Amino acid sequence: MIDVRRFDWRASAGKVRDSAAGGTVGGAPVTYGLIALCCAIFLISPLSGFGGASYGSQDALLAAQAGYFERWGVIPAELWEGSARALLTPFAALFVHGSWLHLLGNLLFLYVFGAMAEERMGRVQFALFYVGCGYLALVCYAALHAESEQTLVGASGAISAVLGAFLHLFPRARVTSLFPFLFFLPLRFPAWIVLVFWFGLQWAAAQAADAGPGVAYLAHVAGFAAGFLYAWGRYGRRTRVKVPATATEGDSQP
């Protein structure tokens, strides 16, 4: 279960107060809209498993899935050709996921950390931040694997940016996490411990990864860095949470 307590920001007074149990007025419609959109796109895609019989055979289904990735995913080798279509693929790829596990893992983290970040930034700014940092993360990965013809999809880069911004804005928020080396016991830590640990894992994995199929850890690293630097540059130190605060509960890995 996930328990969320959000905050109302009073910029003029520079104070933070705990909001009511239902969250602040207005909630986080962009975060929930992104979750709904990603789910809807996945459900109607050939990757969800629904409607598989309509393809007639397993080979036809696999061909449809491959074509789906090629149409909507980022292909680094094609991105740098400069065509308008290729330059738009990072926007589309932010809403495409390769499996149920990929989808649910990403959306869990967006749900846990996105609402508070949105409420702090505002709806329009959060939406632009999410899309812009997600695009940048995918382009950074493509730039370092410019010859790769492997498709790249998923919201991981954008969600990593949300984590980076959250680290700056709410470093003392308490997050209940499950760490494998602690026997998966649910323990509460300040957000800065959980997120710095997560970033370290992504950085280490990126050093060992190659350009073949798998997880694009480098996109996670680029997104996280972009999100943190944006929050640091845009908000500075004056808007960070000054008192311990309860955030949410979730896993330690997106």
Gap between the Cα atoms of 142 and 79, Å rounded: 8
**Alpha helix locations (H) across 12-122?**
29-43, 58-72, 76-79, 84-93, 100-121
pLDDT digits 0-9 by tens, 154-194: 999 999 999 999 989 988 887 755 444 444 445 455 676 77
Give φ, ψ of 78 to 5 degrees: -90, -25
Give me the count of residues in the chain: 254
Gap between the Cα atoms of 189 and 170, Å rounded: 12
Helix (H, G, I), strand (E, B) or coil at 218: helix
Gap between the Cα atoms of 66 and 180, Å rounded: 34
Gap between the Cα atoms of 114 and 92, Å rounded: 20
pLDDT digits 0-9 by tens, 26-68: 589 999 999 999 999 999 988 887 766 677 677 888 888 888 9
Q: CB–CB of 197/252 below 8 Å?
A: yes
- The mean pLDDT value for 134-143 works out to 93
Gap between the Cα atoms of 40 and 29, Å rounded: 16
CA distances to 38, 127, 162, 215 from 100, rounded to whole Å, are: 11, 24, 21, 15
Say what percent of the chain tops pLDDT 90: 35
